[in-house]
Amino acid sequence: MTDAVTLATVDAWLRRFAAETAEQAAWLTELDSAIGDADHGTNLARGMAAVVEKLDAAPPADIPALLKAVGMTLISKVGGASGSLYGSFFLEAGKAAAGADDLDGRALEAALRAGVGSIVARGKAEPGDKTMLDALLPAVDALQAALTSGSALGDAVSAASDAAAAGRDATEPLVARKGRASYLGERSAGHLDPGAASSAILVKTLADTVTAA
């Protein structure tokens, strides 16, 4: 286990996320078929496959460049709300990491918080609106709390992953107030939010990669 996130770790994280979204694409799309338009898994898996192709074709020289390449690729390859939201997450995370070589826990937290902040700015959702933010905001808060209490990086990202999973599960009873699912009103309750589900995968693959590094 390591106490800093390197370029190789970020590369491995996003490849792991690509593999996991491919594996879970049918489930994510099934979630989206209940309260959306049944494209979330296919959208994200297609976008992440394009990310892997891009990383193979032109390996970025540092973490900020890698995050920028991921963001640009998702924005151009993924239709739908989640493409521009995940795209801006990675673009802003990359900007926050500008000039950094490796990311220690605090720098990782700052990059993720900047990314999540851009999803808030762009999508104007609040906690409890039944969106990806219901997984991502608690994850970043848990990361911060764990680092503040002196946890090692691996333990802190694992705490973030647990918080994201809990946030995903907590979307089930909620009524959606943003995105396509909000068109269903009360009928959106009783289903997990697909974006919260994919965001929990994003944080889990980060934890799995950091703890394996």
- Contact positions vs ligand ADP (CB under 6 A): 32, 36-37, 39-40, 43, 80-82, 85, 119, 123-125, 131-133, 178-180, 193-196
64 touches, from ligand ADP, Mg ion, none (C-beta below 5 to 8 Å by class): none
Q: Write down the least CB distance from residue 38 to Mg ion, Å.
A: 7
Which residue's CB atom is positioned nearest to Mg ion?
A: 36
Contacts to Mg ion from residues 38-67, by CB under 5 A: 39-40
Which residue, 85 or 206, has its beta carbon nearer to ligand ADP?
85
> How long, in residues, is the chain?
213
Q: Contact region for Mg ion (CB under 5 A) — 31-39, 60-68, 103-111, 139-147?
A: 31-39
H helices of the chain, in order, are 7-35, 40-57, 63-77, 80-96, 105-123, 133-148, 153-170, 194-212
Q: Does position 183 bind Mg ion by CB under 5 A?
A: no
CA angle (53, 62, 201) in 5-degree steps: 55
The answer to whether 84 and 121 have CB atoms below 8 angstroms apart is no
| Residue 103 main-chain phi, psi, to 5 deg | -110, 120
Q: Does position 79 bind Mg ion by CB under 5 A?
A: no
Q: Helix (H, G, I), strand (E, B), or coil: what is residue 44?
A: helix
The DSSP secondary structure of 117-159, one letter per residue, reads: HHHHHHH---TTSSSTHHHHHHHHHHHHHHHHTT--HHHHHHH
Q: Does position 37 bind Mg ion by CB under 5 A?
A: yes
| 193: its two tokens | 């939010």
The widest CA-to-CA distance across the chain, in whole angstroms, is 48
Query: Measured between alpha carbons, how far apart are the two ends of the chain, in Å?
Result: 5
Which residue, 76 or 148, has its beta carbon nearer to Mg ion?
76
Q: Does position 3 bind Mg ion by CB under 5 A?
A: no
Q: Contact region for Mg ion (CB under 5 A) — 17-25, 32-40, 182-190, 197-205?
A: 32-40
Q: Write down the least CB distance from residue 31 to Mg ion, Å.
A: 9
Residue 187 gets which letter from DSSP? G
Which residue, 160 or 196, has its beta carbon nearer to Mg ion?
196
Which residue, 41 or 60, has its beta carbon nearer to ligand ADP?
41
Which residue, 11 or 193, has its beta carbon nearer to ligand ADP?
193
Q: Which residues bind Mg ion (CB under 5 A)?
A: 32, 36-37, 39-40
